[in-house]
Amino acid sequence: MLGLRQGLVRPMGHRPNRVGEEIRHELGELLSRGAVHDPGIGFITLTRVAVTADLQLARIYYTTLGDEKSRRETARALDRATPFMRRHIGGRLRLRRVPEFEFRFDQSVESQDRIEQILRDLHANESPATTPDDDDHE
């Protein structure tokens, strides 16, 4: 009986990551092929998908080009297209239940760009290194 129990025990944690990567891949394919016919989506990049341990919710992080107004339009378009995308994922992945999708704008890329700009500005404002005068080498 102990052998049977050992066969049933699986480490938790890897499956949500695998499912998230599969969802990200499938959605990326779907969006790049133009199968989602909502012009509000525009050009987006799916950065990551975080799936809860119970596989009930998938938080899909994305970035997009444009200003705040275009971001809001993209968010509305993604909400409109969510039922279609969930049906597509349900047909492609072997899951008992397709997770609910929650699209979120990925602020980390924007924050990273801002940090890099601050570092460039700091580096540009540093005083040039002093070089030894020729008089010191007599």
Sign of CA dihedral 91, 93, 98, 99: negative
Contact status, residue 103 vs residue 60, Cβ threshold 8 Å: yes
Query: Distance (Å, rounded) from C-alpha 105 to C-alpha 45?
Result: 10
CB atoms within 10 A of CB 4: 7
Position with higher pLDDT, 82 vs 35: 82
* Cα–Cα distance, 60 to 62 (Å, whole number): 7
pTM above 0.75, yes or no: no
**Domains in the chain, please, with CATH?**
12-125 (3.30.300.20)
What's the confidence (pLDDT) of residue 62?
94
Residue 54, helix vs strand vs coil: coil
pLDDT digits (tens, 9 = 90+) for 96-105: 899 999 999 9
- Quote the pLDDT of residue 36: 86
pLDDT tens, residue by residue, 11-68: 455 899 999 999 999 999 998 888 888 888 878 899 999 999 999 999 999 998 888 8
What pLDDT sits at residue 102? 96
What sign does the CA torsion over 80, 85, 90, 94 have?
negative
* Per-chain mean pLDDT for the chain: 81
The stretch 81-97 carries a mean pLDDT of: 91
User: When comparing pLDDT for 121 and 129, which is higher?
Assistant: 121
Q: How far is CA 109 from the centre of its chain?
A: 9
